[in-house]
Amino acid sequence: MATFNTPASAIEVRLALEEDSRWIFSWRNDPVTREMSHTHNPISWEDHRVWFDEALNNPARCLLMCSNAQRRVAVTRFDLLTHEALVSINLDPDLRGQGLGKVSLEAAIAYFNALHVKSYDLLAEIKRHNLPSRRVFEACEFILEREDQATAYYRRLTRDRADRTGF
């Protein structure tokens, strides 16, 4: 487990564990979360269990749990592609609007980068109307690349690439 001190709070980040499954399941089935997700339907416990077990055992996926001193705050997922990683975050619905999305995402990115020798550009695909999530990613140095009717596509360059390109 690693602790990253941030201005708003101390966030601890660790690899997700079996004991996190119920929390993630509950957050995923929150009505607002479902509305902002690419899949809107509620997820059954059995479908979640299958997905969660596969996620924990998939070497191309990094599932991280972010917590503060009081509780679990968010789960972040990094799906590893060839030179990129697709990032998503799901915040505990009870903690929305408290600035914990940004600090959790920053801490998760720092943890992810510490785990991987290889540098990955980070990608995010966010519903166009999900303005709180878009603001979180933009505050974490993600740049809007393009939009289609439903989705905004963001990229955050690795530090070495950002230095070379002047971003």
> Which domains are assigned to the chain?
2-123 (3.40.630.30)
Using DSSP's 3-state secondary structure scheme, residue 18 falls into: helix
Tens-digit pLDDT string for the chain (167 aa): 554 444 445 899 999 999 999 999 999 978 777 777 877 788 899 999 999 999 999 999 999 999 998 899 999 999 999 889 999 999 999 999 898 999 999 999 999 999 886 778 999 999 999 999 999 999 999 999 999 999 999 999 976 554 444 44
| Alpha-carbon gap, residue 115 to 18, rounded angstroms | 20
| Alpha-carbon gap, residue 136 to 138, rounded angstroms | 6
The structure's pTM equals 0.87
153 is written with which tokens? 């596509």
Q: Which residue has the tokens 């059954």?
A: 44
Using DSSP's 3-state secondary structure scheme, residue 62 falls into: strand
Helices (H), 3-158: 21-28, 31-36, 45-56, 100-115, 131-139
Predicted pLDDT at 40: 76
Predicted pLDDT at 164: 45
| Alpha-carbon gap, residue 152 to 127, rounded angstroms | 6
Using DSSP's 3-state secondary structure scheme, residue 40 falls into: coil
124 is written with which tokens? 């995010």
Residue 73, H or E segment: strand 72-80
Predicted pLDDT at 143: 97
Burial class (CB in 10 A: 0-12, 13-18, 19+), 90: buried
